[in-house]
Amino acid sequence: MTPTHTHTTQGGRFELVSESTGAGPLEGQALVIYHDLDRDVQSVTTSADWRQHWRSIAADDCTVCLGSGTDQIKGNKSQPCGGCFGLGKVRQDGETPAGEWQVADVALGVIRRQQRIIEQRDQVLAFPEVQAALKARKEKKGKEPADWVQREQQWRESGGRGHGGRRHVGD
């Protein structure tokens, strides 16, 4: 069995078995039946919960850490995963990169993906509505801009270095 999904915060391997509409007390509820491959049990949850807490595994997600980039085997979150050298991603064919050039290739893919996200975010930030909301918020607080705005500015002023492809979320 191949894992199709992983839990966004707890990790693990899950296979989406089927989607259906509930009967009896769950009449009319959109449900998802899934297989927890690590524990080998099948469970059911609502479609809304499934969409919120699970994400699909991409072909180039590392199959050892499922994209988290941290050591899942020993469960040490401060150590990089050995299956992907901490990148969370592997080659397009799902194999661990061999040699520094292939690692560089995978890293470049991660960086490009991040760049696209940052560009999209910048576009959203530039919306007059967003600028107006930020301004209103700043005036309301009557002091320094929010922490994340300052961090964003500092990062921009530093030329964008140090952001890398590593995921900083949740660590």
For Zn ion, the binding residues (CB under 5 A) are 62, 64-65, 81, 83-84
81/107 with CB nearer Zn ion: 81
Closest CA to 49 of 75, 72, 26: 26
If DSSP codes are grouped into helix, strand and coil, which group holds residue 91? coil
For residues 57 and 81, which CB has a smaller minimum distance to Zn ion in the complex?
81
Rounded to an integer, what distance in angstroms lies between the CA atom of residue 68 and that of residue 9?
9
Measured distance CA(140)–CA(171) in Å, rounded? 31
Nearer to Zn ion, 14 or 70 (CB): 70
Minimum Å distance from CB 51 to Zn ion? 24
Nearest approach in angstroms of CB 106 to Zn ion is 11
In this complex, which beta carbon is closest to Zn ion, that of residue 104 or of residue 132?
A: 104
Q: At what angle do helices 100-126 and 128-141 cross, to 10 degrees?
A: 80
Measured from the CB of residue 37, what is the shortest distance to Zn ion in angstroms? 17
Distances (CA, A) of 23 to 16, 28, 29, 33, 42: 19, 7, 8, 14, 18
Shortest spacing between CB 27 and Zn ion, in angstroms: 42
Amino acid at 22: G
